[in-house]
Amino acid sequence: MAFDGFLHPDPKRPDTSDAEARLAALHRQAGALVHDFNNLLTVILNANEALAAQLPQGSTGRELAEAAQAAAERGAELVGRLLDLSQDPAQGPVDCAEAVAATARRARLAAPRSVTVEVRLTDAPLMGAVDGAGLESALLNLCVNASHAMPAGGVMTLTAQARTLDAACAQGLALAAGRYIVVTVSDTGVGMSQEVLARATEPFFSTRCGRGGTGLGLCGARDFVEAAGGRLVLASREGHGTTASLYLPHA
């Protein structure tokens, strides 16, 4: 065939212009929805701030209003990230000890009264090369799971410490040797069988089907820590509780 100076579309290849136009339209619609949702969050934030100001300092009502305020603020941050899900999260540095302490405060307010939340931290900052909002979201998911695992009550413990992995330990975790921040969420709950433990991080796998479980908490925590270059390790025995450990890159 002679070249006539023009590029002719391949009739067997679909035209991408229509798909690109629809993608652009969806992006605009997503932007509009995020804008509207952010407006609603602004109303919630302002109302909570006004409500908290009218309640006595140290009262249960004041604590609940402040917890709702903190959750709405975190929601506003997450909404801002919806526009571009493919963008890599900011890689710190973040004080993981502060993230653990902040999550523990929320967990205490959300957990049943039969569940005690304890925190064990060192005085020194524990700087991790991770996204702060993502870390708190992952930890809160782990705390919710821990709370559900203790229907009769128990103790939830959050810890954070620096740890150096030698070559042997790192190989066992499929990580590079070096310094990490290890954040753990432990419970004294019902624990998991080996069969359940093997599937625990599968998307939508849940032992709470029909009782509010989505099966995305552990999966989301795993995806977050692996995207940061770390590892989620689960240890559990039936009747002996569960410990979820997040190995996070040291900043």
DSSP for 68-93, written as a single string: HHHHHHHHHHHHHTTT-TTSPPP---
Select the more confidently predicted residue: 126 or 86.
126
Confidence of residue 2 (pLDDT cuts 50, 70, 90): very low
Domain end (from 80, 105, 125): 80
Q: Is 88 domain-assigned?
A: no
Beta bridge partners of 209: none
- Give the span between the Cα atoms of 3 and 182, in whole angstroms: 63
CATH of the domain at 138: 3.30.565.10
Q: Which helix H or strand E contains 65, and what residues bound it?
A: helix 60-80
Domain membership of residue 206 as a residue range: 94-249
Which tokens sit at 197? 């433990």
- Give the span between the Cα atoms of 149 and 165, in whole angstroms: 30
Q: Are residues 126 and 59 in the same domain?
A: no
Q: Are residues 53 and 162 in the same domain?
A: no
Q: Are residues 43 and 147 in the same domain?
A: no
Q: Is 169 domain-assigned?
A: yes
Q: Are residues 104 and 135 in the same domain?
A: yes
Q: Are residues 65 and 102 in the same domain?
A: no
Q: End-to-end distance of the chain based on CA atoms, in angstroms?
A: 60
Q: Is 10 domain-assigned?
A: no
Q: Are residues 125 and 228 in the same domain?
A: yes
Q: Are residues 24 and 72 in the same domain?
A: yes
Q: Are residues 143 and 222 in the same domain?
A: yes
Q: State the sign of the Cα–Cα–Cα–Cα dihedral 207, 209, 211, 214.
A: positive
My answer on whether omega of the bond before 151 falls inside 30° of 0, hence cis, is no
In the numeric block, the tokens 């709470």 are attached to: 208
Query: Does 171 score more than 90 pLDDT?
Result: yes
The total number of structural domains in the chain stands at 2
In the numeric block, the tokens 């969420």 are attached to: 185
Q: Is 87 domain-assigned?
A: no
Q: Are residues 56 and 118 in the same domain?
A: no
Q: Are residues 108 and 141 in the same domain?
A: yes
43, 118, 160, 233 from 99: Cα distances, Å: 26, 14, 10, 19
Q: Is 5 domain-assigned?
A: no
Which tokens sit at 158? 């959050």
Q: What is the pLDDT of residues 179-236, one digit of tens each?
A: 999 999 999 999 999 999 999 988 777 776 545 455 567 888 998 999 899 999 999 9
Q: Is 130 domain-assigned?
A: yes
Q: Are residues 174 and 54 in the same domain?
A: no
Res 247: pLDDT: 98
- Give the span between the Cα atoms of 248 and 251, in whole angstroms: 9
Res 111: pLDDT: 87
Q: Are residues 111 and 174 in the same domain?
A: yes
Count of beta carbons in the 10 Å neighbourhood of residue 18: 9
Confidence of residue 153 (pLDDT cuts 50, 70, 90): very high
Which tokens sit at 231? 């590892």
Q: Are 224 and 216 in contact (CB under 8 A)?
A: no
